[in-house]
C-alpha cells in the first residue's frame, strides 16, 4: 500500500495550490481528482477576471487552472486522475482511503488529508420552486458545463433566477451565444453577485435585473413553457396578486453554493452551520486532527485567488502536520458578521500568517472592524462600505500578540460617523 | 342508504344540480356541479363503499374543461395487424405484474403503455410502502389483495433481485391510556391479515426509533410492513416479463376500439391496429377511458393527487423504518395519513397528502402540500426540516367512488378484464392482482400450457458501491467502465449507466437511466452528472447530444450545438 504525508482530494484551484505547497514543503504528496482533467470548475469558466491577486493579471478560469497545473508539474506530487475516493477511514496515525478508478480498486494511507472538494449548486427544489418537472431547468453551473465544455445550447429563451456570480456570467454567456435572456430575478432586495459582474454581464447587455422577485412555479409538461414570477415580502414569501407569467424555454438557477463536505462528515468533522464548511483553525485544520480543508469546501469564496490562497496554506501546514494535543481558542464574533473563517485559533501553532476571511451580515456604510484581545484592541481596519456578497480578507500577524488558550479574542464592527 | 335517500341528500346539498339515476348495473350520476369538489362529493355520497354497483359519473363542472389524455405524437405501424392472445393496456406496476404472471404461460402477450417508459405515473410517484393493510375494511377486495400481495413480496423481490426491506411500521399513539387496548387488538390484526404485531411502551419505542417524537406515548408495531423502490420493482417486473417472452411496446396509446356483439374486435393505437384475443385494462387513471372505449364502462375514476418530499440521505440517521402518529391524520378519509418512510435507497420520504383533482396527468407540485405535509408529520418526526428536502413529486391515485379495487371480467364485453381503481395500496397488492388476473386469463385460454422456459429470476444492474473491495475490483478488471464514477452523490459508475441503456427493457432517456441506476437521484440532483449522462447516452446509442431527452418525446434537454442556430 502506498503511503503519503499529504493527500489532497480535489484538483480545482484549492486542491492544486494545496498539492503544490505541500510538495514544496517537502511532504510526499498525492493529489486525487475524480474527473479526467484537473482544474475543477475552472475548466468551464472561459470568462476572465481570475488571477488578479495571485498572478497580477486578468486570466480566464482555464488559463488560471493551466498556470497551477504547470506549476504542479514541476513538483514531485503524484497525481491520480479519474479517481474517486469511495471511503475515508480514520486510523491511528492517519487516514486510509479507498479509491475507485478505471484501473481498479486501491487503498492508500496518508498522514494528513486536505479536503478540496469544492461545492455544489443549490437546486430548484431546495429553493422551493414548484410546478412541473420538465426539461429545461438547469443550475447555472450545469448550463455552463453544457455550453462551455460540451458545446451545447441549454436553451434559447431563458429566465435566470438568482443574481449569484455564475448566474450573471451565464446571462452574458448565453446572450453572446445568441440566446435571449429575458431577465435575472433576485428574491433579495440586493444583488448577490459582485458589482463588476452586474455591470459587465447585465448592464452592458441590456439584461434587466428584477430585485425582490422570485420564480414560484415552472410550467410545461415536457419542456419548460413558462415560469411564474412574483414579488416577495421581506421574509421572501411570494406576495399574492403580484404573479407574472413569463413564457420561456429555460430556467437557470444561480441560487447559492453548498460546500461539499460529505467526506468530511464521514470522518466526523464538525461543520459550521453558517459556512456549511468545517470549523477550522488558522492552519485550516478542521476539528479532526490531520484533516485540513480549503477553498470552497471551507466556505464559498468570491474569487478563485482566495480559494488558492487557502489551499497554499492548508497544503503547507498539512506538510508539517504532527500529531499533538490542540487547545483551541474560539474566535468570537459580533452579530454584524455573517461569518468569520477561521472560527478558532491554535495558540501553539504559527500565528504569523493568520488570515481572517469574513462576510458582513448586512450591507453597511463606513465601518471600522476591530479585533480585541482580552478586551484590548490589537488591530483595526476601516472599510468604506461592506456588502454581504463581497468577501473580505484581513491578513494579520498574531504571533507577538501573546495569545494563550485562555485568551478571549473578539471581532467587532463599528459604524464610523463622518 | 337507499337510492331515494341519496337522491334527497344530493338535492339538499346541491339543489337540483346533480341527479342520481339507478340504471342496470350502475348508479349513473349526471348534471352540472359548481366545482370539481362538489362533483366528487356527490359521487362519494352516491357510492356505497365496496359495492359492486358503481357510481358512473357524467357530471360536468361549469367552465371546467378537463384536459384530454396526452398521446404521443409518434405515428407508425409497428404493431399493425398483430394478433396477441392478450393485450395489456398500461405498464404500471399492476400491468407489469400481470404481464410477468402471464409469462408463466405459453401465451402471446403484448404489454403497452402510452408513455416513454414503464412506471411513469402512479407507480413511480408513491412512497414505496408495502402496507400491512391496517386501515382497510375487511371484506373489501383491496384488503384481500393487500394481504396476499404483502405476503408475496419477500419471494418476489428475491426472485427479481429488487431491494426490499421488511422493516415494519410503527403506528404511534399520543395517549398512554390506549396501551392496554393495543394488546387487545393483537388478535384482530392477526385475523384480519395485517399480521403479527408488537405493543411498545414509549421507552421501548424510543429504543428502536430514537428520534421519534415525544408526543408518541406508545406504539403498535406491524412486522409485515416494508419498503421497496416502486419504480425499481416495476422495471424489474417488466424486464422479467420481457425476458420470458412478453412483448413490450412503449409510446403506444390506445385511441379507440372496435367492439361488436359484446366483443372487442380490434384496438386502434398510434402504432397500428391490434387484434387481441383478450384485453386487460390496467390503465390506472385512464382505466375508465379504456372501459368506455371497450363499451364496458361501469365505474368512474376520480383522480386524487398526493405529494411526497424526498429528504437527503443525511436525514436517514433519524429513522430506522416507518412511522406515523395517530390523531395527526388528515381530515380526508382517503389517505392512509401518510407517514415518514426510511427508503431502501437510504433516503427519507415524507407524505403523501390527498387532494381531489380533475386532471389525471397534472403532476405539478405546490408549496402548500409540502408545508401541510411537513406540519403534520413533524408531530411524529420533530427532526423533519424542509432544509433536508432534495426534491418532491406528485402522483395521482386512480380512485373509484366505492374506494375499492375492481379486478373482474367485463360486464358487457366478453374479452376484457379490468384491473381498475387500483390506488393505494396498489403497490402492495400488485403481485396479488397479477396472480388474480392470470387466474382469470386461464379461463379464456384453458389450453394454454406452461411456458417451459419461464425463469422467475432476474439479474439486476449490479450496484458497484455496494460491493466489497474485492468484488468491485473483479468487476472493474473485466470492465473498466465500472471504475469510472459518473454520479458522485450516489457513486454510480459509467458501466452501470451503460448497463441501464442495454437492459431487457432498454431506456434512452436521462430519467429512464435515473430510475434504473440512480445517477441524479442524490443531493445535487444531477447538477454534476447530467452533462456526463447525456454524453454517455449519446455515445452508447449513437444519437447527437441534442437529441437526448429527459423523458417523454418533447423533453429534449439541449437545443443544438452552440453557434448552429444563429
Order of all β-strands in the sheet with B406-409: B247-249, B109-112, B86-89, B278-281, B416-420, B406-409
Interchain contact, B367 vs A216, CB within 8 Å: yes
Report whether pLDDT(B332) > 50: no
Cis amide prior to B523 (ω within 30 degrees): no
**Burial bucket for residue B257 (CB in 10 Å: 0-12, 13-18, 19+):** buried
Tell me the pLDDT tens digit for each residue of B267-295.
999 999 999 999 999 999 999 999 999 99
Interchain contact, A223 vs B555, CB within 8 Å: yes
What are B396's strand-pairing partners? B305
Q: Residue B369: closest CA among chain A residues belongs to which residue?
A: A130
Q: Judge contact between B476 and B483, C-beta under 8 A.
A: yes
Report whether pLDDT(B157) > 80: yes
Interchain contact, A100 vs B562, CB within 8 Å: no
What are B309's strand-pairing partners? B350, B392
Tell me the pLDDT tens digit for each residue of B128-156.
999 999 989 999 999 999 999 999 999 99
Tell me the pLDDT tens digit for each residue of B217-272.
999 999 999 999 999 999 999 999 999 999 999 999 999 999 999 999 999 999 99
CATH architecture of B464-547: Orthogonal Bundle (1.10)
Kindly report the CATH class assigned to B3-61: alpha beta
Report the residue from A102, A133, A178 with minimal CB separation from B565: A178
Name the CATH topology of B67-164+224-300+401-460: FAD/NAD(P)-binding domain (3.50.50)
pLDDT for B501 equals 98
Interchain contact, B525 vs A125, CB within 8 Å: yes
Domain spans, chain A: 1-120+257-323, 123-255, 325-418
Same fold, B165-221+305-392 and B464-547: no
Report whether pLDDT(B122) > 90: yes
Domain spans, chain B: 3-61, 67-164+224-300+401-460, 165-221+305-392, 464-547
Between the CA atoms of B489, B494, B495 and B497, what dihedral angle is there, to the nearest 10 degrees? Answer: 70
Tell me the pLDDT tens digit for each residue of A184-194.
999 999 998 88
Tell me the pLDDT tens digit for each residue of B375-409.
999 999 999 999 999 999 999 999 999 999 999 99
Interchain contact, A105 vs B530, CB within 8 Å: no
Distance of residue A176 Cα from the nearest chain B Cα, in angstroms: 10
ipTM: 0.96
Residues of chain A with pLDDT under 50: none
**Placement of cell 422456459 in the chain:** B453
**Placement of cell 412555479 in the chain:** A217
Q: Please give the Cα distance from B233 to B181 (Å, whole number).
A: 37
Report whether pLDDT(B542) > 90: yes
Q: Is B473 on the interface with A (CB under 8 A)?
A: yes
Interchain contact, B364 vs A217, CB within 8 Å: yes
**Placement of cell 338535492 in the chain:** B11
**Burial bucket for residue B159 (CB in 10 Å: 0-12, 13-18, 19+):** middle
pLDDT for A325 equals 85
Interchain contact, A134 vs B70, CB within 8 Å: no
Report whether pLDDT(B331) > 80: no
Kindly report the CATH class assigned to B165-221+305-392: alpha beta
Question: Running DSSP on this structure, what letter comes out for residue B448?
Answer: P
Report the residue from B483, B534, B545 with minimal CB separation from A103: B483
Between 2.60.40, 3.40.50, 1.10.10, 3.30.450, what CATH number should domain A325-418 receive?
A: 2.60.40
Tell me the pLDDT tens digit for each residue of B463-512.
999 999 999 999 999 999 999 999 999 999 999 999 999 999 999 999 99
Q: Please give the Cα distance from B230 to B93 (Å, whole number).
A: 8
Reported residue count of chain B is 566
Q: How would you classify residue B90: left for phi > 0, otherwise alpha for psi between -120 and 50, otherwise beta?
A: left
* CATH code of the domain occupying A123-255: 3.50.50.60
pLDDT for B240 equals 98
Between 3.20.20.150, 3.50.50.60, 3.30.470.30, 3.60.21.10, what CATH number should domain A1-120+257-323 receive?
A: 3.50.50.60
C-alpha closest to that of B507 among B79, B119, B74: B119
**Residue B473, CA atoms < 13 Å, CB-side half-sphere:** 8
Confidence of residue B337 (pLDDT cuts 50, 70, 90): low
Tell me the whole-structure pTM to 2 decimals: 0.96
Stretch B84-91: mean pLDDT: 98
Between the CA atoms of A282, A283, A285 and A286, what dihedral angle is there, to the nearest 10 degrees? Answer: 10
- Which of A119, A222, A237 to substitute to test the interface with B, most B CBs within 10 Å? A222
pLDDT for A386 equals 95
Q: Residue A127: closest CA among chain B residues belongs to which residue?
A: B387
Residues of chain A with Cβ-Cβ distance to B473 below 8 Å are 104-105
pLDDT for B434 equals 98
Catalytic residue, from B54, B121, B131, B318: name it: B131
Distance of residue A219 Cα from the nearest chain B Cα, in angstroms: 8
Tell me the pLDDT tens digit for each residue of A8-32.
999 999 999 999 999 999 999 999 9
Tell me the pLDDT tens digit for each residue of B411-451.
999 999 999 999 999 999 999 999 999 999 999 999 999 99
Stretch B293-309: mean pLDDT: 97
pLDDT for B335 equals 52
Distance of residue A84 Cα from the nearest chain B Cα, in angstroms: 7
pLDDT for B330 equals 47
B131 is an active site residue: yes
Amino acid at each position: 500500500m502506498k503511503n503519503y504525508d499529504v493527500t489532497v482530494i480535489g484538483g480545482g484551484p484549492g486542491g492544486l495550490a494545496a498539492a503544490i505547497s505541500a510538495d514544496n514543503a517537502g511532504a510526499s504528496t498525492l493529489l486525487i481528482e475524480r474527473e479526467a482533467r484537473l482544474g475543477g470548475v475552472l475548466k468551464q469558466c472561459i470568462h476572465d477576471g481570475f488571477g488578479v491577486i495571485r498572478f497580477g493579471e486578468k486570466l480566464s478560469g482555464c488559463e488560471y487552472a493551466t498556470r497551477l497545473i504547470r506549476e504542479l508539474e514541476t513538483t514531485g506530487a503524484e497525481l491520480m486522475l479519474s479517481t474517486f475516493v469511495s471511503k475515508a477511514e480514520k486510523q491511528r496515525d492517519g487516514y486510509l482511503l479507498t479509491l475507485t478508478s478505471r484501473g481498479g480498486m486501491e487503498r492508500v494511507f496518508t498522514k494528513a488529508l486536505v479536503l478540496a472538494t469544492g461545492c455544489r449548486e443549490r437546486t430548484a427544489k431546495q429553493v422551493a420552486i414548484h410546478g412541473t418537472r420538465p426539461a429545461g431547468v438547469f443550475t447555472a453551473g450545469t448550463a455552463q458545463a453544457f455550453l462551455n465544455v460540451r458545446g451545447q445550447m441549454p436553451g434559447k429563451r431563458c429566465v435566470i433566477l438568482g443574481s449569484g456570480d455564475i448566474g450573471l456570467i451565464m446571462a452574458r454567456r448565453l446572450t453572446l451565444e445568441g440566446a435571449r435572456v429575458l431577465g435575472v430575478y433576485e428574491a433579495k432586495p440586493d444583488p448577490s453577485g459582485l458589482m463588476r459582474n452586474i455591470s459587465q454581464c447585465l448592464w452592458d447587455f441590456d439584461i434587466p435585473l428584477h430585485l425582490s422577485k422570485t420564480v414560484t412555479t415552472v410550467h410545461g409538461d415536457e419542456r419548460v413553457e413558462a415560469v411564474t414570477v412574483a414579488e416577495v415580502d421581506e421574509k421572501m414569501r411570494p406576495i399574492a396578486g403580484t404573479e407574472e407569467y413569463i413564457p420561456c424555454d429555460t430556467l437557470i438557477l444561480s441560487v447559492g453554493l453548498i460546500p461539499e463536505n460529505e467526506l468530511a462528515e464521514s470522518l466526523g468533522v464538525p461543520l459550521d452551520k453558517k459556512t456549511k464548511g468545517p470549523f477550522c483553525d488558522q492552519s485550516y485544520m478542521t476539528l479532526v486532527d490531520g484533516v485540513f480543508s480549503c477553498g470552497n469546501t471551507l466556505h464559498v469564496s468570491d474569487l478563485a485567488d482566495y480559494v488558492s490562497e487557502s489551499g497554499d496554506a492548508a497544503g503547507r501546514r498539512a506538510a508539517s502536520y504532527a500529531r499533538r494535543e490542540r487547545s483551541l481558542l474560539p474566535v468570537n464574533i459580533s452579530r454584524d458578521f455573517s461569518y468569520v473563517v477561521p472560527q478558532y485559533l491554535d495558540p501553539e501553532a504559527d500565528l504569523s500568517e493568520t488570515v481572517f476571511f469574513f462576510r458582513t451580515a448586512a450591507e453597511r456604510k463606513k465601518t471600522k472592524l476591530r479585533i480585541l484581545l482580552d478586551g484590548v484592541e490589537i488591530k483595526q481596519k476601516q472599510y468604506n462600505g461592506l456588502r454581504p456578497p463581497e468577501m473580505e480578507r484581513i491578513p494579520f500577524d498574531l504571533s507577538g500578540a501573546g495569545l494563550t488558550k485562555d485568551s478571549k479574542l473578539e471581532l467587532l464592527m463599528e459604524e464610523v460617523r463622518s | 342508504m337507499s337510492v331515494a335517500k341519496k337522491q334527497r341528500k344530493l338535492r339538499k346539498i346541491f339543489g337540483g344540480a346533480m341527479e342520481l339515476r339507478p340504471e342496470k348495473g350502475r348508479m349513473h350520476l349526471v348534471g352540472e356541479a359548481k366545482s370539481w369538489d362538489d362533483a366528487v362529493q356527490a359521487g362519494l355520497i352516491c357510492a356505497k363503499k365496496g359495492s359492486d354497483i358503481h357510481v358512473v359519473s357524467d357530471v360536468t363542472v361549469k367552465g371546467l374543461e378537463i384536459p384530454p389524455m396526452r398521446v404521443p405524437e409518434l405515428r407508425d405501424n409497428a404493431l399493425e395487424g398483430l394478433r396477441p392472445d392478450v393485450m395489456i393496456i398500461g405498464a404500471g406496476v399492476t400491468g407489469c405484474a400481470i404481464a410477468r404472471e402471464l409469462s408463466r404461460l405459453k401465451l402471446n402477450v403484448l404489454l403497452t403503455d402510452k408513455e416513454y417508459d414503464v412506471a411513469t405515473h402512479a407507480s413511480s410517484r408513491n412512497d414505496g410502502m408495502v402496507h400491512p393493510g391496517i386501515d382497510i375494511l375487511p371484506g373489501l377486495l383491496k384488503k384481500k389483495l393487500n394481504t396476499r400481495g404483502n405476503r408475496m413480496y419477500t419471494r418476489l423481490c428475491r426472485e427479481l433481485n429488487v431491494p426490499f426491506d421488511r422493516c415494519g411500521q410503527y403506528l404511534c399513539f399520543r395517549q398512554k391510556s390506549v396501551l392496554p387496548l393495543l394488546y387487545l387488538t393483537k388478535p384482530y390484526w392477526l385475523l384480519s391479515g395485517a399480521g403479527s404485531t408488537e405493543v411498545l411502551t414509549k421507552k421501548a419505542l424510543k429504543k428502536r426509533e430514537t428520534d421519534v417524537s415525544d408526543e408518541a406515548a406508545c406504539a403498535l408495531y406491524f412486522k409485515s410492513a416494508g419498503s421497496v423502490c416502486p419504480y425499481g420493482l416495476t422495471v424489474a417486473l417488466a424486464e422479467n416479463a420481457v425476458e420470458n417472452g412478453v412483448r413490450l411496446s412503449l409510446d403506444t396509446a390506445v385511441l379507440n376500439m372496435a367492439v361488436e356483439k359484446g366483443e372487442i374486435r380490434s384496438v386502434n393505437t398510434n402504432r397500428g391496429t391490434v387484434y387481441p384475443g383478450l384485453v386487460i385494462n390496467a390503465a390506472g387513471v385512464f382505466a375508465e377511458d379504456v372501459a368506455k372505449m371497450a363499451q364496458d364502462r361501469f365505474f368512474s375514476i376520480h383522480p386524487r393527487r398526493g405529494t411526497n418530499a424526498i429528504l437527503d440521505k443525511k436525514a436517514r440517521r433519524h429513522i430506522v423504518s416507518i412511522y406515523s402518529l395517530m390523531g395527526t391524520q388528515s381530515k380526508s378519509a382517503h389517505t392512509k395519513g401518510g407517514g415518514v418512510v426510511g427508503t431502501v435507497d437510504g433516503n427519507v420520504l415524507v407524505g403523501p397528502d390527498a387532494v381531489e383533482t380533475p386532471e389525471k396527468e397534472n403532476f405539478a407540485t405546490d408549496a402548500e402540500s409540502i408545508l401541510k405535509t411537513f406540519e403534520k408529520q413533524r408531530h411524529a418526526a420533530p427532526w423533519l426540516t424542509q432544509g433536508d428536502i432534495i426534491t418532491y413529486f406528485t402522483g395521482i391515485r386512480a380512485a373509484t367512488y366505492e374506494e375499492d379495487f375492481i379486478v373482474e371480467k367485463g360486464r358487457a364485453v366478453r374479452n376484457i378484464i379490468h384491473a381498475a381503481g387500483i390506488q393505494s395500496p396498489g403497490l402492495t397488492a400488485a403481485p396479488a392482482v397479477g396472480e388474480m388476473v392470470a387466474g382469470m386469463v386461464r379461463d379464456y385460454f384453458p389450453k394454454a400450457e406452461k411456458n417451459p422456459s419461464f425463469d422467475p429470476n432476474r439479474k439486476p444492474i449490479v450496484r458497484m458501491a455496494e460491493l466489497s473491495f474485492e468484488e468491485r475490483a473483479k468487476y472493474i478488471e473485466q470492465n473498466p467502465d465500472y471504475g469510472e464514477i459518473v454520479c458522485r452523490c450516489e457513486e454510480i459508475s459509467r458501466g452501470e449507466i451503460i448497463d441501464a441503456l442495454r437492459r431487457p427493457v432498454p431506456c434512452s432517456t436521462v430519467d429512464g437511466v435515473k430510475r434504473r441506476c440512480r445517477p441524479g437521484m442524490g443531493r445535487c440532483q444531477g447538477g454534476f452528472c447530467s452533462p456526463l449522462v447525456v454524453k454517455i447516452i449519446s455515445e452508447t446509442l449513437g444519437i447527437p447530444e441534442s437529441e437526448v431527452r429527459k423523458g417523454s418525446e418533447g423533453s429534449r434537454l439541449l437545443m443544438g450545438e452552440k453557434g448552429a442556430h444563429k
